[in-house]
């Protein structure tokens, strides 16, 4: 237990400790541009995820598979080889008994009406392009998730540091209150109040540690690492929150660069090609064939029988167009309209998301600036004034504790707002599909 004769010196030392602790919240921000401590930076986390994430690898494999479709979509069907025995007499099955008996070998090739294969190829190319857009969309969303999770962990670690600093301060408060109460210069409620606030900090620390474990597991999963692998982040990170482009400029960028919208446009183009293909199905397809017939035996005049060459041409007849081709055109037209409406709907959603994320980013950015330049410096001054007043018994213990808890809350909210702003900036880039900083 502290000796009451020394408690004024303890108050002075505590003042220095409080000011040093309060300085940490803003002084850290001033050092963010300096050298970074060892640990997993956000850029390193993104790079690891892009190389290792299984979901992104899966989308790349799908795109590679889709890229192979156009080449075989435009290829002719495989020809057929025909082997025939024609006009065999059933009484003897002799090959030289009858003049028309022959062994025949032939080839048949199906040939779609000119233009059909080209339309199939173009539709497949647009589908392959849409699959590539899916890869880029997955990549953008993966970067957003990694950055958001990283900044959540960063905030939790800063909050844990603030909790630990305030825990030490409140322990000193408890000792001072107990000492004053023991010699009859303090109240028991001061001791109980300080102990209660100390317990609250311990409870908050338990919650933050659990949150960190959950977010670390999520980050490891994104990086394709064991979920229980420890993650160490730098003590500093980029705290500058840049200006972003105007809202209308962000809309235009998203229309041009968002992979999700590009996918819908490519799917719409593919659907349009399928409409053209369905309309061309009214035209016939062809089959060309050639066969060579080998004959045995001799003619009546003793000469050898000549071999036969047969040529064939057949074509389809759209006899059931009312129930087949007409319905196919209606189907493909409806599919094209569905793709068109889907593109319009998704474009509206993207624009709405940009407006929402931009508003959230601006709000968080303004909060960070307010905490940096106003609230936290004022709260630190308040704590220093309360300590000075408590030293000469002009401020009661309750107000001293409350001022310190208020400073603790503002320091925590500063890092929370900074983390939220960085997460919203990551969301904005993913929503637009391109960097949004106004340089």
Residues 23 and 169 in one domain: yes
- Examine the pLDDT at 44 and tell me if it is beyond 70: yes
Residues 293 and 244 in one domain: no
Compute CA 319 distance to the chain's CA centroid, rounded to the nearest angstrom: 50
Longest Cα–Cα distance of the chain, Å, equals: 146
Q: Which CATH number covers residue 256?
A: 1.20.1600.10
How many angstroms separate the CA atoms of 8 and 3, rounded?
10
Q: Is 353 exposed, middle or buried (0-12, 13-18, 19+ CB in 10 A)?
A: middle
- Tell me how many degrees the CA angle 291-296-302 measures, rounded to the nearest 5: 130
pLDDT of residue 30: 41
* pLDDT tens per residue across span 363-395: 999 999 998 888 888 888 887 787 777 666 676
Query: What's the number of domains the chain is made of?
Result: 2
Task: Assign 32 a pLDDT band (cuts: 50, 70, 90).
Answer: very low
Q: Which residue has the tokens 């308040």?
A: 382
- Domain limit, last residue, from 302, 317, 332: 317
How many angstroms separate the CA atoms of 81 and 196, rounded?
91
SS3 state at 324: coil
Task: Give the range of the structural domain holding residue 297, as residue numbers without chain letter.
Answer: 77-111+284-317
108 sits in which H/E element? strand 102-111
438 inside domain? no
The average confidence (pLDDT) of the chain is 84
Strand partners, 104: 84, 293
Cβ proximity of 242 and 117 under 8 Å: no
Q: Tell me the C-alpha to C-alpha distance, in Å, between residue 365 and each of 147, 424, 439.
A: 17, 10, 17
Question: Among 115-119, 188-192, 223-227, 255-259, which is the least confidently predicted range?
Answer: 188-192
- Domain limit, last residue, from 293, 317, 341: 317
Residues 160 and 11 in one domain: yes
- Examine the pLDDT at 29 and tell me if it is beyond 50: no
80 sits in which H/E element? strand 80-86
pLDDT average, residue stretch 9-14: 50
pLDDT of residue 183: 61
Q: What is the pTM of this model?
A: 0.80
Cβ proximity of 437 and 426 under 8 Å: no
Q: Tell me the C-alpha to C-alpha distance, in Å, between residue 270 and each of 43, 105, 397.
A: 37, 41, 74
Residues 244 and 255 in one domain: yes
* pLDDT tens per residue across span 217-231: 999 999 989 888 888
- Domain limit, last residue, from 272, 296, 317: 317
437 inside domain? no
* pLDDT tens per residue across span 347-361: 999 999 999 999 999
Alpha-helix runs per DSSP H in 5-115: 7-30, 42-52, 54-67, 69-73
């Amino acid at each position: 237990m502290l000796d009451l004769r020394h408690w004024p010196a303890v108050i002075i030392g505590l003042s220095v400790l409080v000011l040093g602790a309060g300085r940490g919240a803003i002084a850290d921000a001033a050092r963010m541009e300096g050298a970074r401590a060892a640990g997993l930076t956000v850029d390193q986390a993104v790079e690891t995820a892009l190389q290792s994430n299984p979901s992104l690898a899966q989308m790349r494999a799908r795109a590679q598979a889709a890229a192979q479709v156009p080449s075989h979509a435009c290829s002719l069907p495989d020809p057929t080889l025909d082997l025939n025995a024609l006009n065999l007499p059933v009484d003897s099955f002799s090959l030289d008994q009858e003049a028309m008996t022959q062994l025949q070998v032939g080839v048949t090739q199906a040939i779609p009406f000119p233009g059909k294969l080209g339309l199939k190829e173009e539709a497949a190319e647009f589908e392959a392009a849409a699959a590539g857009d899916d890869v880029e969309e997955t990549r953008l969303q993966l970067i957003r998730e990694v950055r958001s999770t990283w900044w959540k962990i960063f905030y939790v670690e800063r909050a844990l540091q603030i909790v630990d600093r305030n825990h030490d301060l409140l322990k000193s408060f408890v000792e001072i209150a107990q000492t004053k109460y023991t010699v009859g210069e303090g109240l028991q409620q001061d001791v109980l109040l300080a102990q209660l606030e100390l317990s609250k900090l311990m409870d908050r620390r338990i919650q933050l540690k659990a949150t960190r474990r959950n977010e670390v597991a999520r980050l490891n999963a994104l990086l394709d690492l064991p979920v229980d692998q420890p993650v160490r982040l730098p003590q500093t990170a980029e705290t500058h929150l840049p200006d972003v482009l105007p809202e209308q400029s962000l809309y235009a960028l998203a229309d041009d660069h968002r992979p999700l919208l590009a996918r819908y446009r490519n799917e719409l183009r593919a659907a349009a090609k399928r409409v053209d293909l369905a309309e061309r199905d009214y035209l016939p397809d062809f089959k060309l064939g050639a066969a060579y017939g080998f004959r045995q035996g001799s003619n009546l005049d003793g000469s050898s029988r000549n071999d036969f060459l047969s040529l064939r041409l057949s074509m389809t007849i759209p006899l059931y167009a009312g129930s087949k081709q007409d319905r196919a055109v209606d189907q493909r037209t409806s599919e094209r309209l569905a793709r068109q409406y889907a593109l319009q709907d998704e474009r509206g959603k993207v624009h709405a998301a940009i407006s929402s994320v931009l508003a959230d980013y601006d709000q968080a950015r303004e909060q960070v600036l307010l905490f940096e330049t106003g609230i936290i410096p004022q709260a630190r001054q308040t704590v220093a004034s309360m300590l000075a007043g408590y030293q000469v018994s002009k401020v009661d213990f309750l107000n001293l504790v409350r001022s310190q808890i208020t400073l603790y809350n503002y320091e925590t909210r500063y890092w929370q707002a900074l983390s939220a702003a960085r997460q919203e900036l990551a969301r904005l880039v993913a929503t637009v599909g391109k960097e949004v900083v106004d340089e």
